[in-house]
Each structure stands twice: as structure tokens, then as C-alpha cells.
Amino acid sequence: MSLTTIQLKAPYLIFLGEVDSPVYSKTGAGIVQWRPELVAGQLRFAGNQLSLGVPDMTVQQAVKAGVKSIIIGVAPVGGKIEDEWLKVLEEAAKLGIDVVSGLHHRLESFPGLVAAANKSGAQLVNVRTPASGLPVGSGKKRSGKRLLMVGTDCAVGKKYTALAMAQALQEKNVQATFRATGQTGIMIAGSGIPIDTVVADFVSGAAEVLSPDNADDHWDVIEGQGSILHPGYAAVSLGLLHGSQPDAFIVCHEPTRTTMEGFPAAAMPTVQQCIDLTIQCGKLTNPAIRCVGVSVNTSRLPEKDRIPYLEQLAQETQLPCVDPILTGCEALVQNLF
């Protein structure tokens, strides 16, 4: 089976609407970070102070600037497309701009949006489209090597770390491929499997398809999803772990949270808890699984505390601990070999 491949028309207008949380705008932020040459601007509602660092545009201004696609760059809990959003998306579609969504709600379920697109010829693109014909996981050993990102929570830097690691390995002339498992990663890479759309019985099989047999020295760098310690998303994380059969994994962590983002009754696990449970569960399909380090998003820590935090965590875990933006990934790459 081939991976989902998407072709989006550039340049893009990133839709933010009223969403002002960096956690829930990571789709737009990820595209701006990794494919800035494709982004013309952002569209945010009045009063929204969140900015991706690109020009603000209305739909009309976007048309004049030659924008070809408006991408919903936010994913709040529940993923609902609000009525106010639809007004903007319909206006864009009427003017011939493709509408791209990575949310669970399919764009075709909104009659007004469909009518606007049909009239202009604009495309409605659902990135989170379930893959078909997936197998049940076999647990069979595959050639090649695999590096999986795991998290203590959602939105802690798994995608960013995977992209940074793939890039760092390639710069060292190591064969490495970023494997996308979420909508933003698929938008950046152009292919992948949106793992949270897969029926539970086939999640581990999907992960096997995502990272097939390869050259013995090739690394598949697999974007993680959720956390195996998360009350809502542990199931998809566990299936992805078993199917990936990782030779190595990196724990991704956000140090200022006391509870999981959007789940105030769920206490944040420690990095060590995540390491221990990942090894325990991962041994089912790869007895040689090991943790090679920790990737920390330190952006919410006071600047003076960031490096000391990494040093303290490294002492506690006896593993390299980095912030990919602050320190780079070199220590993680070195510990991979």
C-alpha cells in the first residue's frame, strides 16, 4: 500500500481565526517553520494577538497576492469548524482559493462550502483522510532502523524534533526519512498516514506500512502522536509504538505543565516514567529498544533557567537532554550510534 500523498497549491494563507494558543496553532506554526517559502500570510480575527510572524491578510488581499490555498492552521480540542470560520472559508472558496483542512470534520459536510467550491472550481482538501486497505500489525522484524518520537503529553515537540533529527542526520550524510503520522507533518512532507484516523485494530499495521523494509543503515525518523500515558490518546500511541518497532526513541517533554494540556484532571507524568513504560511496552516488538535522549521544549521557562534545566534533567536520566531550537540535536545524533 502507498502512503497518502497530497499536492497543495502554493502560496498558502494560514487561517488562525480567534485561536490564540500556540499549542492549538501548531499546524500553522509548523508549516511556517519548515516550509516558509510557501507561506504568503496569515488570517486572524480582530483581537487575536497570536502571530506566526508572517503578514496579515484578508481573503481579498490574499487573492491579489496570488494565494492558491487557505490552510486551517489551528486544531483546538474537538476540532470543530466554527460558523465564523465557515464565513471566511466560503469567501475564499468563492474566489477560487482551495480550502485545506487537517481536522476530523470533513469539508464536504458543509453545504455552503461545497456550493462555493463548486461554483469557482476550488478544491476542498481533507488531509486527515483515513488510509484504506491497511493490514493488522504482524510484529515481523523489518530491515532498516527506526527512531520514534514519544511524548509525556500532546503538543510537546514530537513533530519538530523528528523533523530536526531527520535534517541533522541528512546533514551528516546518513540516510534518513521523516515519516509523518499527523496532518501537519503530512502537509510538510507531502506524504504519510494520519494515524489517528485509523481503526484501532490496524494502527500497528499502519505504522508497519509507514516504515517499511529499507537499507540496513537507513533511519526512518517517525513522528509520534499523543502519549502512552495520556488518558485520551494512549491507544493510538501504543499502536504506533508496537508497529514502529523502534530501535531507538526520544522522549519529548514540556517542563512547565503540571497537568496534561486540556485535561486538568490528568497529572503530567515524569520523563523517567515515560522512558520506563515505553521500554516495557516497546519490547513486545523490539526487545532491543532503547532511549537515546530527551527533547525539551523550554520556551515557557525563564531564559536563565533553560540550560540549567537541561543539565539537571541530563543528570537525572543519564541521557543527553536538548532543546532542538536552543541547543540543536547533535547530542542526540551522537547517542544514536
Contact 203, 248 (CB under 8 A): no
Residue 26, pLDDT score: 86
Measured in degrees and rounded to the nearest 5, phi and psi for residue 78 equal: 95, -25
Phi-psi region of 119 (alpha: psi -120 to 50; beta: other; left: phi over 0): alpha
Rg (CA), the chain: 20
Other beta carbons within 10 Å of 2: 8
Per-residue pLDDT tens for 42-67? 999 999 999 999 999 999 999 999 99
Residue 1, pLDDT score: 56
pLDDT tier at 322 (50, 70, 90 boundaries)?
Answer: very high
The three cell numbers locating residue 24? 492549538
Residue type, 256: T
Region 124-138 average pLDDT: 90
Residues of the chain with CATH 3.40.50.720: 4-126
Per-residue pLDDT tens for 156-184? 999 999 999 999 999 999 999 999 999 88
Per-residue pLDDT tens for 207-246? 999 999 999 999 999 999 999 999 999 999 999 999 999 9
Distances (CA, A) of 249 to 158, 177, 220, 240, 291: 11, 15, 11, 12, 5
Per-residue pLDDT tens for 180-207? 999 889 889 888 999 988 999 999 999 9
The three cell numbers locating residue 264? 486538568
Residue 23, pLDDT score: 82
Is the preceding omega at residue 11 within 30 degrees of 0, hence cis?
A: yes
Residue 8, pLDDT score: 87
Q: d(Cα 34, Cα 325) in Å, to the nearest integer?
A: 13
Per-residue pLDDT tens for 77-126? 666 788 899 999 999 999 999 999 988 888 999 999 999 999 999 999 99
Per-residue pLDDT tens for 247-266? 999 999 999 999 998 899 99
Q: d(Cα 47, Cα 59) in Å, to the nearest integer?
A: 18
Distances (CA, A) of 32 to 29, 169, 187, 220, 302: 5, 22, 11, 23, 25
Residue 4 has pLDDT above 80, yes or no: no
240: Cβ–Cβ under 8 A, 6 or more apart, which residues? Answer: 148, 181, 195, 203, 204, 207, 222, 224, 225
The three cell numbers locating residue 248? 531507538
Per-residue pLDDT tens for 270-309? 999 999 999 999 999 999 999 999 999 999 999 999 999 9
Q: d(Cα 323, Cα 295) in Å, to the nearest integer?
A: 6
Helical H segments across 156-211, by residue range: 158-171, 183-189, 203-210
Per-residue pLDDT tens for 29-41? 999 999 999 999 9
Residue 5, pLDDT score: 66
Give the orientation angle of helix 111-120 with respect to helix 83-94, to 10 degrees.
10
Residue 2, pLDDT score: 57
Residues of the chain with CATH 3.40.50.300: 145-336
E strand or H helix at 63, and its extent? helix 59-64
Q: How far does CA 170 lie from the centroid of its chain?
A: 20
Other beta carbons within 10 Å of 221: 26
Between CA 51 and CA 53, with CA 18 as vertex, the angle to 5 degrees is 10
Q: What is the CATH number of domain 4-126?
A: 3.40.50.720
Q: d(Cα 165, Cα 179) in Å, to the nearest integer?
A: 12
| Percent of the chain scoring above 90 in pLDDT | 84
Measured in degrees and rounded to the nearest 5, phi and psi for residue 64 equal: -65, -30
- In the numeric block, the cell 532542538 is attached to 324
Residue 78, pLDDT score: 60
Between CA 77 and CA 86, with CA 83 as vertex, the angle to 5 degrees is 100
Which one has a higher pLDDT value, 4 or 184? Answer: 184
Residue 49, pLDDT score: 94
- Dihedral angle of Cα 247, 252, 258, 261, to the nearest 10 degrees: -110
Fold of the 145-336 domain: Rossmann fold (3.40.50)
